[in-house]
Structure 1
Amino acid sequence: MKNLDDIKMHQRKLNRRYKELIEQAYNFRQTDSALSDISEFKAIKLLDELNRLKYLARECSHLSL
Structure 2
Amino acid sequence: MKTLMQIKTHQLKLQLRYKQLIEQAYNLRQTDHALSDISEYKAIKLLNKLNRLKYLSRDSTRQRLT
TM-score (norm 1): 0.97
Q: Which residue of 1 aligns with 2:41?
A: 41
> Gapped runs of 5+ residues in structure 2?
none
Cα offset, 1:40, TM superposition: 0.0
- 2:52 is matched by which residue type in structure 1? R
Q: How many residues align?
A: 65
Relative contact order higher in (CA < 8 Å, ≥ 6 apart): 1
Cα offset, 1:62, TM superposition: 1.1
Q: Which residue of 2 aligns with 1:25?
A: 25
> Gapped runs of 5+ residues in structure 1?
none
- CA distance in structure 2 between the partners assigned to 1:22 and 1:16 by the alignment: 10
- CA distance in structure 2 between the partners assigned to 1:37 and 1:2 by the alignment: 37
Moved over 2 A (4+): none
TM-score (norm 2): 0.96
Q: Which residue of 2 aligns with 1:10?
A: 10
> Considering only aligned residues, what root-mean-square deviation do their CA atoms show, in Å?
0.5
Over the matched positions of the two proteins, sequence identity in percent amounts to 69
